[in-house]
Structure 1
């Protein structure tokens, strides 16, 4: 993402300003107050205009599609929103977000028209109303004879200052303020996914807008006491920003830096990896960050990396067969498994048995990530399921009944383990090691003969 001085006036595209000026029509007798500067305090109402939707532009810094834009620009470079190509990319992201709510918005527009005007920059970029424009575009295709679907009511922000009495154009910071205000005053609009909301909150922080200011546009927040406000701000950090930091670390480990659209999410539910990272932070990571609180997890300082590694592998798995728990549920379970020495030992074996990232693995995009994650899980499924199930059963006090085949496989894995470096055997243990090797060979011969016999009997 590009670095922009948030306090500088937003760059204005003069050719687009001309299009807006030539095609806007005053809606007679209609004015509206908007969340801009001190308009509301001074009871200022601004003129509402009707503008053909074809001249209005989607804005890429739209919190609803924050993860998609961030991922796109990280992978392919700056998305120029003023171009037809840029607009089509943004339109695709908006179309894919919450299809059912878009249908609901279309029905609302058909029944009641446009309830409230959108807010646009002087050159036509929508600060709010991006999804409304998309809905109107779809309706104009469905009802080509209905002219009302080809225009949109808007309030236009100030442009270049030409006279002394003219207002100055908005800064990037002020535009972020307007978006925050409308985010907390939505009616029938699609809520942001919590993941997109986290990225949007952090983007505003990077632009100098504190969490408190972002929340100040919510009337219920302003009614809280100072103590309650601090608690709400901490909650935003715990529910959004800290889990996002964990995602950054996870993506870095996978070589997917900044590719947020490779994280499986589901809006407002306990599904998907976003919820897993929330539970990972709250149940595990906040203790890993503080050496004085490691005792809560029952681990030592040297084991912090092991715990993180195993947790990330389980999050990548998304769901472990045989335990019937999704990855976010496993994050809550891990502290309990770690506090039992035997179940902890079993779980942490995943640190060395499998790698979080396959050798030579690269990820192109979100669809490719789904395939890669599935391939990775299928490759490692047996080891993951075996270790997690065994650790869980130890914690529950169950004795796992392993089949002879599983026992043979485990024994072979131990013999082929990378730590089986015979040079490391001390002089005093050479003779007993030789006796054990002879016993292993003898037992192997016995097993081999018995299997041969079974094979003959099954012919």
Structure 2
């Protein structure tokens, strides 16, 4: 079969996340010049046709033309990467992954220019015309060497994940050959596409657990996967046995209490709901169930009750968007099994957004928000950004500060990580948006623009220290401290002490990161050692800062009490006409005591003022 044409929606996405640069590491050659001319090239990672570089017989034509199999390169590096021995599939995937991650946006104008040129070629040459590579620079479409067809959605439409996911045909055959008729009930309706509304019935089958695969994109272990890939500078191949073992370990340590609870439920009640898998056996949901069944099968002396798993198999050709929506419905929506820890949920939401499945689209797909009016829905969107995306931006800046980009397991190690830092980032992001990005609040606290970066650096070091407990103080846990930041920064002496923490080094020497046997310490152990080395300066400054604001609070308290007393006396409800006549005598008695006490307080303050003036000193 000849190669399929590339879809304009895929091309649009490629250019949108390209930074308008060649994806080859350190190459700064632009893809689209200032005139809108495409001087880069759209390249297949795995060849579109037999005989091409890195052609994969187990793949399919839909995947070969999908976003995941395409990379934008300059002409020189396109030629260079044709050397398949030096540039295997995994290496090009890594180039693509590293290039497109992070802040990838380019101007809408560049994307629009590219798409306009592409559409111009279609309109000029007609649907189905062939564009072959030619010498010199060419407009978008001429670089493709493919049949062009009309399937373009307006540039103003929301981007979306396009193309069928890559199917492992070997695993697909394994699933097809080993599925068996399920126990009652044998049919079900799942929340896939519009099947729930249309009441589309699907078969439930049983498959030996050993043939099923954990998904790398499982939102429950998103932080673990991204951290591992970043730390080890690799992209995990989902089907590999080593990757499957790794994913299982991530699931085991993610939430041990829930895992034990699930195992008890499987023993007592069996499998109540079927899992859903791709046609080649990757679990959309039920990843923890597979893990639990495997453990029970061994623990219970190969009890056949725990050997088979009830599943519904999705059709070949399901798109990544279909699967992302399905997982969103099964795992993340609040009416379902919303057990995802905050950090993992934030990473999943953002990963979906990068693939074109916007936050708004994710929420509209949730029945809890689907029919909301614009004003109420916009508030929900803002709340999700506040709870997930803005804290994640702060967490990313934190990781960059300590040269740990992408190492999210250093923020939290799972749902039961009591010392996790995620809550601190939720509170700090609120402080950033509510104070550091609010000129009026900054003026109230006398924070200068040139102090903002130093404040963030100091706060990140306090968050990294994590353990702030000091006997005799009420500093609290790290997120408690972050919530009190306005008080600390509103006191000039306390602010100086907080800012001084910026001078704490970001790391410990490399030679101290290994144990006595030369084995590298875990990130948590490195954090503990860093915290111990800098404990005196961080906690010492915090203790002094705490005393300053504590003393300030003690000084402010009398005035606050007087203000509160005056407010009560001026309250709108204090209307004599509403007072019953039987209370007049009691009211006059209380007023007399108020006047006498007010007179005593006045004399006491006046006397203190006189002493202050006579000393000729400023009391601080």
**TM-score, L = length of structure 1:** 0.79
CA deviation vs aligned residue, 1:375-413 (integer Å, no higher than 9, x gap): 1111111122221111111111179xxxxxxxxxxxxxx
**Partner residue of 1:63 out of 199, 219, 223:** 219
Residue 320 of structure 1 pairs with residue 459 of structure 2: no
Structure 2 unmatched ranges of 5 or more: 1-93, 102-159, 554-620
Q: Residues 145 and 302 from structure 1, CA distance in 2 versus in 1: closer, same or farther, beyond 3 angstroms?
A: closer
User: In the aligned structure 2, how far is the partner of 1:307 from the partner of 1:198?
Assistant: 25
Contact 1:102–1:190 (CA under 8 A) maintained in structure 2:
no
Structure 1 residues 125, 320: CA separation in 2 closer, same or farther (over 3 Å shift)? same
What is residue 230 of structure 1 aligned with on the other side?
A: 378
Counterpart for residue 529 of structure 2: 375
Indicate how the Cα distance of structure 1 residues 368 and 296 shifts in structure 2: closer, same or farther if over 3 A, else same: farther
1:119-268 map, 5 Å: 119-159=276-316, 169-184=317-332, 191-222=339-370, 224-264=372-412, 267=415
How many angstroms apart in 1 are the aligned matches of 2:186 and 2:247? 30
Structure 1 residue aligned with 2:176: 21
Q: Return the offset for 1:250.
A: 0.9
Bigger proportion of residues as helix: 1
**Correspondence 1:397 to 2:548:** no
Residue in 2 that maps onto 1:423 = none
Q: Retained in 1: the 8 A contact 2:191–2:326?
A: yes
Aligned length: 389
Worse-matched range after superposition: 182-191 or 369-378: 182-191
Per-residue displacement from partner, 1:10-47 (whole Å, max 9, x unpaired)? Answer: 00111111101110012266111112222122110111
1:58 touches 1:87 (CA, 8 Å); kept in 2? yes
Change (3 A) 1:284 1:268: farther
Q: Within 1, Cα distance between the matches of 2:218 and 2:545?
A: 44
Alignment-derived partner of residue 451 in structure 1: none
Q: How far does the alpha carbon of each residue in 1:135-165 deviate from its partner, in whole angstroms, 9 at most, with x for none?
A: 1111111223521210001111112xxxxxx
Is residue 330–residue 337 contact of structure 2 (8 Å, CA) maintained in 1?
no
Shift of 1:321: 3.6
Larger radius of gyration: 2
Alignment match, 2:487 = 336
Give the SS at the match of 1:119.
strand
The 1:374/1:347 distance shift into structure 2, 3 A limit, reads same
Alignment partner, residue 499 of structure 2: 348
Distance 1:83 1:19 in 2: 15
Q: 1:87 and 1:186 mapped to 2: Cα distance? A: 28
Please report how far the alpha carbon of residue 227 of structure 1 lies from its aligned counterpart in structure 2 after TM superposition: 2.1
Structure 2 match to 1:96: 253
- Distance in 2, Cα, partners of 1:355 & 1:174: 47
Looking at both structures, which has the greater relative contact order when contacts are Cα pairs under 8 Å and sequence separation is at least 6?
A: 1
- What is the alpha-carbon root mean square deviation over aligned residues? 2.7
